[in-house]
Structure 1
Amino acid sequence: MKKKRYQNLDLTARPATFGDLLKWQKERFKKQKDMSFMIGQAPQKQQALLHTNQDKLTITWIGHSTFLIQLAGLTIVTDPVWANRMGVSKRLEEPGLSLDEIPPVDIILLSHSHYDHMDIPSLKKLKGIPAVLVPEGLGAKVRKLMKENRVYELPWWGQVRIGSVEFHFVPAQHWTKRTLTDTNTSHWGGWIIQRYMEPSTEALHIPKSIYFAGDSGYFQGFREIGERFSDITYALMPIGAYEPEWFMGTQHMTPEEAIQAFVDIGAEVFIPMHYGAFYLADDTTEEALGRLLTEWRHRELDDCHLQLLKHGETLSFVYSEKNCN
């Protein structure tokens, strides 16, 4: 039976050809990049809070696209990757917390099947027996890998509610591949993590939605996400692996495009990710961060809406608008 192949909303946004890949690799040999700049580790890590927390929202950056999020008593991990290497390249910095340092996990969110977002050893080593939420087309593979776990397979705009938290799978512009023959046989996307709010709490400054963008090029779908989910508090947005732009442009955003996507969805706080852990493209950690800050200032956006995390840093709060008035 022929496998279904998934597409982007923009049908012209397709994976680069093998010829394009060879051209890029030839260009890479001519570049000399300084990789010495590091994001660094959080000076104080809050493992004790993460192991006892039942009511606060916490967001902890492990590295790359891996976050540990706690909301409404659930511990959630996005795109778990604790791998020391990605292909032939060694990890640039250690994960912010080790697998032994994090609490048992209730929910795993996978944005797509690329190796830097879905690391099978990391999946299997997470504590607990978490439910796994995956894109359409990826369910069978994950069920084979994690036979004891509940696996929910969602299409774009699909949703599932676990406890008092709703998880919505939303579009992205990307692609998937793990073997020579499985290109785009599973989908890709981002996740809205949305707490169900009782009417009596709607007027309080409590985070209502977190947007985990996964991996994406810039596309008009960000506007639709913002229209459908008008209460996004925190946006976890990728800013790295964009150079050379002629090769990466349809699948990864530049920092400037990431800011535009943040504006499109109408979120309140931008938390950058997908930089500083792996050398996946030709941009460096310092370049990605520098371009982000330059564009942020050029647009005259308030710094209180930008939260730069160290590896292992935990944000812990009931939202209070951070004096942004």
Structure 2
Amino acid sequence: MPKKRYKNLDDVSNTKTFRELMKWMKERRTKTKDLVSQIPQAEEKEAEKLQRNRNLHSITWIGHSTFFIQLNGLNILTDPVWARRMGTGKRLTDPGIQLGHIPEIDIVLISHGHYDHLDFATIKKVKGDPTFYVPHGLRSAFLRRGYKNVIEANWWDSFDEQEVTMRFVPAQHWTKRTITDTNTSHWGGWVLNPGTSGKSIYFVGDTGYFRGFKEIAEKLSPQIILMPIGAYEPEWFMRDSHINPEDAVTAFAEMNGELFIPMHYGAYRLADDTGPEARERLLAEWERTNMDERKLKMLDIGETLWLE
């Protein structure tokens, strides 16, 4: 029986040809990039406070798409990846907090199955006995490795734990872990709503710019947006899968969010752009569009935002 293949909204395809891949590789050889300068990294100083915390809401950027989030007493990890390498490349910046210093985890949220978002070597070392919320089609990969508390989600599915509502929402992307499993599992983002006790958080996952941002805003009105800004160059190749900094600002404005926290940059060289370039373009677009500077929080790697 053929495996189910998942699709984007409006059937947008991310498929690229071998010829297009070779064109990208040829372009890359003509570019000069500063691969020494990296994005800022905070000193690891919040780990002890995070260990003790049971009441305050917090967001800590570990790096790339990995966040440690505390809501209503729950310890939550998004796309946990502490890997030192990604493919043939070394990690460019250290994870913000050592994995051993992270408290026991209650919930792990996975956006999709690409290796820079789903690293089973990391998951094996996560403390606690978490429940894994994964896109539809990924549960079997967890069960094969002995994990039992695994819940699959389709777009707009909703789950509740300790008065935190978690909704799996659309993204424009694709996924692949082997040569035969392209798009046999889904992809998306997660909106976390702690109810009257705090602000809702939208972990966007991995995506190109798409009309789904407006639909998510209309249905859920997320307040804090954890938005990808990296792996966009060359844009003719990447734009269907990875949003650039300018389009990320557009999406945030369309959603009428309260706070923009950038992610998905500076840890791995997945495309031709660099972490500092992504930050510079984001800041330039924020200024050009006269966005309120109080609505942008560029976390250093390892920095914690304590929420009121």
Settle same-fold status: TM greater than 0.5.
Answer: yes
Following the alignment from structure 2 to structure 1, what is the Cα–Cα distance between the partners of residues 206 and 238? 12
Shift of 1:62: 0.3
**Residue 72 (1) aligns with residue 72 (2):** yes
Whether the 8 Å contact between 1:272 and 1:308 is mirrored in structure 2 is yes
1:274 alignment partner AA: H
Shift of 1:46: 0.7
Shift of 1:12: 3.1
Following the alignment from structure 1 to structure 2, what is the Cα–Cα distance between the partners of residues 145 and 259? 39
Shift of 1:226: 0.2
Aligned residues: 308
1:238 alignment partner AA: P
TM-score, normalized by length of structure 2? Answer: 0.97
Following the alignment from structure 1 to structure 2, what is the Cα–Cα distance between the partners of residues 64 and 75? 19
Could you say if the C-alpha distance between residues 128 and 245 of structure 1 is closer, same or farther in structure 2, counting changes exceeding 3 Å?
same
CA deviation map 1:187-229 (0-9, x unaligned): 00000011133xxxxxxxx533100000000001100000001
1:22 alignment partner AA: M
**Residue 260 (1) aligns with residue 250 (2):** yes
Structure 2: gaps of 5 or more residues: none
Could you say if the C-alpha distance between residues 43 and 99 of structure 1 is closer, same or farther in structure 2, counting changes exceeding 3 Å?
closer
2:145 alignment partner AA: L
Whether the 8 Å contact between 2:113 and 2:185 is mirrored in structure 1 is yes
Compute the RMSD of aligned alpha carbons: 1.1
Partner of 1:177: 176
Partner of 1:63: 63
Following the alignment from structure 2 to structure 1, what is the Cα–Cα distance between the partners of residues 258 and 235? 28
Structure 1: gaps of 5 or more residues: 198-205, 319-325
2:15 alignment partner AA: P
Partner of 1:81: 81
**Residue 154 (1) aligns with residue 144 (2):** no
2:74 alignment partner AA: L
Whether the 8 Å contact between 2:63 and 2:263 is mirrored in structure 1 is yes
**Residue 226 (1) aligns with residue 217 (2):** yes
1:30 alignment partner AA: T
Whether the 8 Å contact between 2:139 and 2:150 is mirrored in structure 1 is yes
Whether the 8 Å contact between 1:207 and 1:233 is mirrored in structure 2 is no
The SS at the match of 2:124 is helix
**Residue 296 (1) aligns with residue 295 (2):** no
Following the alignment from structure 2 to structure 1, what is the Cα–Cα distance between the partners of residues 18 and 275? 27
Whether the 8 Å contact between 1:110 and 1:132 is mirrored in structure 2 is yes
1:187 alignment partner AA: H
Partner of 2:295: 305
Partner of 1:193: 192
Partner of 1:133: 133
1:261 alignment partner AA: A
Following the alignment from structure 2 to structure 1, what is the Cα–Cα distance between the partners of residues 282 and 191? 23
**Residue 166 (1) aligns with residue 157 (2):** no
Shift of 1:19: 2.3
Which of 226, 231, 236 is the equivalent residue of 1:241? 231
1:189 alignment partner AA: G
Shift of 1:17: 2.1
The SS at the match of 2:60 is strand
Partner of 2:111: 111
Following the alignment from structure 1 to structure 2, what is the Cα–Cα distance between the partners of residues 82 and 223? 32
Following the alignment from structure 1 to structure 2, what is the Cα–Cα distance between the partners of residues 263 and 13? 25
Residue pairs, 1:35-50, within 5 angstroms = 35-43=35-43, 45-50=45-50
Which of 181, 199, 203 is the equivalent residue of 1:208? 199
Shift of 1:30: 1.7
Whether the 8 Å contact between 2:199 and 2:224 is mirrored in structure 1 is no
Whether the 8 Å contact between 1:124 and 1:146 is mirrored in structure 2 is no
Shift of 1:55: 1.1
Whether the 8 Å contact between 2:137 and 2:184 is mirrored in structure 1 is yes
CA deviation map 1:297-316 (0-9, x unaligned): 01111111000111111111
Whether the 8 Å contact between 2:44 and 2:97 is mirrored in structure 1 is no
Percent identity of equivalent pairs: 54
Shift of 1:174: 0.2
Following the alignment from structure 1 to structure 2, what is the Cα–Cα distance between the partners of residues 20 and 30? 16
Could you say if the C-alpha distance between residues 21 and 109 of structure 1 is closer, same or farther in structure 2, counting changes exceeding 3 Å?
same
CA deviation map 1:218-270 (0-9, x unaligned): 0011000000012x221000000000000001000110011111112221000
CA deviation map 1:32-57 (0-9, x unaligned): 21022222221352111111111111
Following the alignment from structure 2 to structure 1, what is the Cα–Cα distance between the partners of residues 225 and 295? 10
